[in-house]
A and B are shown apart, each in its own frame.
Chain A
Amino acid sequence: MGVVVQRDACVGAGQCALVAPDVFDQDDDGIVLLLEPEVEGALLVAATKAARLCPARAIAVSA
Chain B
Amino acid sequence: MGASPRIVIVGASIGGLTVAETLRQEGFDGQIVLIGDERHRPYNRPPLSKQIINGEWEPDDAGIRSESEIDDLGIDLRTSCAAEALDVAGRVLHTTQGEIPFDELIIATGTEPRSHPLVPTALTLRTMDDALAIRDGLRSARRVAVIGPGILGSEIASAARKNGADTQLIGRSGTLTFGGVGALLSSRLVELHEAHGVELALNAEIVGASAGAGGTSILFADGSSERADLVVAMIGGAPRTQWLLSSGLTVDNGVVCDGTGSAAPGISAVGDVAAWRDPYTGTPVRVEHQSNAIEQAIAVALRLVHDEQVSRPVPLFWSELHGTRINAFGWFDQGLPFEPMDDSPAVLVSRDGTGRVHGAVGWAAPPREFRVARAAVAESSTLAPLH
Binding site for B on A (CB under 8 A): 11-15, 17-18, 21, 25-30, 48, 52-53, 55-57
Contacts A30-B325, A55-B290, A55-B291 given; does A13 touch B367 at CB 8 Å = no
Pairs A-B, 5 closest by C-beta atoms: A26-B367, A30-B367, A55-B290, A57-B64, A18-B374
Cβ contact within 8 Å between B378 and A14: no
Q: Chain B nearest CB: distance from A21 CB in Å?
A: 8
Main DSSP-derived SS at the B contact region? helix
Indicate the member of B64, B291, B366, B368 with the most A CB atoms within 10 Å: B368
Cβ contact within 8 Å between B22 and A13: no
Instruction: Report 23 cross-chain contacts, Cβ distance below 8 Å, ordered by A residue.
Output: A12-B318, A12-B325, A12-B367, A14-B367, A14-B374, A17-B367, A17-B371, A18-B371, A18-B374, A18-B378, A25-B368, A26-B368, A28-B367, A29-B367, A48-B25, A52-B21, A52-B298, A53-B291, A53-B295, A55-B44, A55-B290, A56-B44, A57-B65
CA distance A5 to B375 in the complex (A): 23
Q: Chain A nearest CB: distance from B375 CB in Å?
A: 7
Closest Cβ neighbor of A11 among chain B residues: B46
CA distance A56 to B18 in the complex (A): 11
CA distance A4 to B64 in the complex (A): 16
Chain B contact-residue range equals: 20 to 34
CA distance A28 to B147 in the complex (A): 33
Cβ contact within 8 Å between A14 and B327: yes
CA distance A61 to B176 in the complex (A): 41
The answer to the question of B83 belonging to the interface, with a C-beta cut-off of 8 Å to chain A, is no
CA distance A29 to B325 in the complex (A): 9
Q: How many residue pairs, one in A and one in B, have C-beta atoms under 8 Å apart? A: 54
Q: Which of A13, A25, A53 contacts B318 (CB 8 A)?
A: A13
Q: Chain A residues with Cβ under 8 A from B363's Cβ?
A: none
Cβ contact within 8 Å between A52 and B374: no
Cβ contact within 8 Å between A15 and B298: no
CA distance A21 to B366 in the complex (A): 16
The answer to the question of B294 belonging to the interface, with a C-beta cut-off of 8 Å to chain A, is yes
Q: Chain A residues with Cβ under 8 A from B44's Cβ?
A: 11, 55-56
Indicate the member of A12, A13, A17, A55 with the most B CB atoms within 10 Å: A55
Closest Cβ neighbor of A19 among chain B residues: B378
The answer to the question of B14 belonging to the interface, with a C-beta cut-off of 8 Å to chain A, is yes
Q: Chain A nearest CB: distance from B306 CB in Å?
A: 14
Q: Chain A residues with Cβ under 8 A from B295's Cβ?
A: 53
- Starting from the known contacts A53-B291, A55-B290, 14 additional A-B residue pairs (CB-CB under 8 Å) come to A13-B316, A14-B370, A15-B291, A17-B367, A18-B374, A18-B378, A25-B368, A26-B368, A26-B371, A30-B325, A52-B22, A53-B294, A55-B14, A55-B291
CA distance A28 to B346 in the complex (A): 13
Q: Chain B residues with Cβ under 8 A from A53's Cβ?
A: 291, 294-295, 298
CA distance A21 to B367 in the complex (A): 12
Q: Chain A nearest CB: distance from B68 CB in Å?
A: 14
CA distance A53 to B291 in the complex (A): 8
CA distance A1 to B259 in the complex (A): 34
Cβ contact within 8 Å between A55 and B371: no
Q: Chain B residues with Cβ under 8 A from A11's Cβ?
A: 44, 46-47
Task: Map CB proximity to A onto B196-238 as digits: 1 under 8 Å, 0 otherwise.
Answer: 0000000000000000000000000000000000000000000
Closest Cβ neighbor of A8 among chain B residues: B61
Q: Chain A nearest CB: distance from B63 CB in Å?
A: 9
Q: Chain A residues with Cβ under 8 A from B291's Cβ?
A: 13, 15, 53, 55
Q: Chain A residues with Cβ under 8 A from B65's Cβ?
A: 57
Q: Chain B residues with Cβ under 8 A from A27's Cβ?
A: 367
Q: Chain A residues with Cβ under 8 A from B22's Cβ?
A: 52
Q: Chain A residues with Cβ under 8 A from B368's Cβ?
A: 25-26
CA distance A13 to B326 in the complex (A): 11
Closest Cβ neighbor of A25 among chain B residues: B368
Which B331-387 residues sit within 8 Å CB-CB of chain A?
366-368, 370-371, 374-375, 378
